[in-house]
Amino acid sequence: MCAEIFRCSLMTSFSTPQPKRLNQQITKKSATAAALWQQCWRWCCQVALVQPSLLSYLEPLIRLVRPTFRAHVSHAKLVQIQQHGNFLHLTLRPGGRWQGFIPGQHLQLVLEINGRAISRTFSISSSLQLFLEQGLITLTIQQQPQGVISNQLQQLSEPTAVVYSLPQLPIHLSAAQGSFTLSQHQPALLLAAGSGITPIHAMLTSITRLTQPLRLIYSYRGADQLLFAESWRELQQKFPLLQVQLIDTQSRGRVTVAEVTAWLFQQPDSQIYVCGPTSFSQSWLHQLALLKVPPANIKQESFGLGALRPENGAQSLHPIRVTLAAQQLTVQSGDGSLLQSLEAAGLDPAYGCRRGICMQCLCQKSQGVVRNLVTGETSDAGPGQIQLCISQPLSAVELNFV
């Protein structure tokens, strides 16, 4: 019942005008009451059961009957896998516990491979209507040479794969999350590169009525890397206020500052959405700051992380001292994240999204200075918790995995 109410509210928000002020106040009060109730319930479970929820407490018993059950994620059925260039399109049918999504949000995909739960974070690339009408969602995953999940799924997409193995693959989905969502109350400019187009595709294909000018500039490398080609043609025919500019960077340069400035001159109050590789996002955040675009008008999400090098160009290597149970060892840092350095040394620390979202690689730093690869912020030299996947050492670092 709750899932159906949530689905109806999402469809309403994307297809009808905003409700009257009274309805907004009632909805806000209901949401506040629900949040307070959930917080109280979690506190009771934590105190009485030493678990975040009743399901967590009962999970060992439930798994005796349903071995694939997980308390904080929802089971999903893999319906179809399609390959397009270097990308895999996964069509999934989430179970009844999954509460839906707002276009632009991401989730954690959890696969059980050889008895081990492996999770990665992906944006939902399909429209809200597909989920509301058919109960399906699509994830578009770029294949990586060392990608455990993408390689496992790629094997199933091959013609030799056994068809009946698809539903048997244990798959779970976390709740959808993230604030990278589209506001339809002002003009918008969307800058996307590579796999950064996936949440934007979900946003645009979920629109049922467009009343503000909107422009998408999508950069890709080579014709086989162009995603959702049919969608862009259909959307332009459907919405006269939508402009779509597709840029193949193999045949011409990247999108220029002049092209963005021309749009901002025409629509100075535009909301700017930036999504793509970290280098792409960081470059455009810098350019938009030079163009005096208010930070409140910018939303960004990055895929992958790039190392931030010292200004003088010199590469500095630092020792990383690791305490693991009763053992201590020292490894040498590279020019990337702490997670990359530890993996290069043969260690296997826990991780999930590798983008600083899921918090699975959270670790205790005893001392040392690190830089956040997402924000560029530098930590102090004292103890504190850090995320291995987005932390780059700037000095000798001590980590405690006890």
**pLDDT at res. 1:** 46
Q: Is the dihedral of CA 96, 99, 100, 106 positive or negative?
A: negative
For residue 99, is pLDDT > 80? yes
Neighbours of 298 (CB within 10 A): 16
Between residues 165 and 56, which one has the greater pLDDT? 56
129 phi/psi in degrees, rounded to 5: -60, -35
**Position 254 confidence tier, pLDDT thresholds 50, 70, 90:** confident
* Percentage of the chain lying above the pLDDT 90 cut: 32
| The token pair that represents 3 in the structure block | 């899932």
| pLDDT tens column, 10-22 | 544 454 444 444 4
| pLDDT tens column, 174-209 | 889 888 999 888 999 999 999 899 999 999 999 999
Between residues 48 and 93, which one has the greater pLDDT? 93
Compute CA distances 251 → 191, 218, 223, 246, 254, whole Å. 18, 14, 10, 11, 10
What is the C-alpha to C-alpha distance for residues 49 and 307, in angstroms, rounded to an integer?
Answer: 42
Q: Which of 39-43, 110-114, 227-231, 368-372 has the lowest mean pLDDT?
A: 39-43
What is the mean pLDDT of the segment spanning 327-350?
A: 81
3-class SS string, the chain: CHHHHHHHHHHHHHHCCCCCHHHHHHHHHHHHHHHHHHHHHHHHHHHHHCCCCHHHHHHHHHHHHCCCCCCCCEEEEEEEEEEECCEEEEEEEECCCCCCCCCCCEEEEEEEECCEEEEEEEEECCCHHHHHHHCCEEEEEECCCCCHHHHHHHHHHCCCCCCCHHHHCCEEECCCECCCCCCCCCCEEEEEEHHHHHHHHHHHHHCCCCCCCEEEEEEECCHHHCCCHHHHHHHHHHCCCEEEEEEECCCCCCCCHHHHHHHHHHCCCCEEEEEEEHHHHHHHHHHHHHCCCCHHHEEEEEECCCCCCCCCCCCCCCEEEEEECCEEEEEECCCCCHHHHHHHCCCCCCCCCCCCCCCCCEEEEEECCEEECCCCCECCCCCEEEEHHHEEECCCEEEECC
**pLDDT at res. 47:** 57
**pLDDT at res. 185:** 87
Q: Which residue has the tokens 């690190």?
A: 370
For residue 263, is pLDDT > 70? yes
Q: Which of 175-184, 265-274, 352-361 has the lowest mean pLDDT?
A: 352-361
**pLDDT at res. 184:** 81
**Position 71 confidence tier, pLDDT thresholds 50, 70, 90:** low
Rounded to the nearest integer, the mean pLDDT of the chain is 79
Q: Which of 141-150, 308-317, 383-392 has the lowest mean pLDDT?
A: 308-317
- Do residues 125 and 139 lie in contact, with contact meaning Cβ atoms separated by under 8 Å? yes
**Position 218 confidence tier, pLDDT thresholds 50, 70, 90:** very high
Domains and CATH numbers, the chain: 1-67 (no CATH), 73-178 (2.40.30.10), 188-303 (3.40.50.80), 319-400 (3.10.20.30)
**pLDDT at res. 217:** 96
**Position 220 confidence tier, pLDDT thresholds 50, 70, 90:** very high
What is the C-alpha to C-alpha distance for residues 357 and 105, in angstroms, rounded to an integer?
Answer: 12
Between residues 319 and 325, which one has the greater pLDDT? 319
Residue 289 identity: A
**Position 57 confidence tier, pLDDT thresholds 50, 70, 90:** low
What is the mean pLDDT of the segment spanning 300-307?
A: 63
Residue 5 identity: I
Q: What is the CA radius of gyration of the chain?
A: 23
Residue 121 identity: T
Quote the pTM value.
0.69
What is the C-alpha to C-alpha distance for residues 179 and 106, in angstroms, rounded to an integer?
Answer: 9
Residue 246 identity: L
Neighbours of 318 (CB within 10 A): 17
Rounded to 10°, the helix 21-49/54-65 angle is: 70
**pLDDT at res. 339:** 86
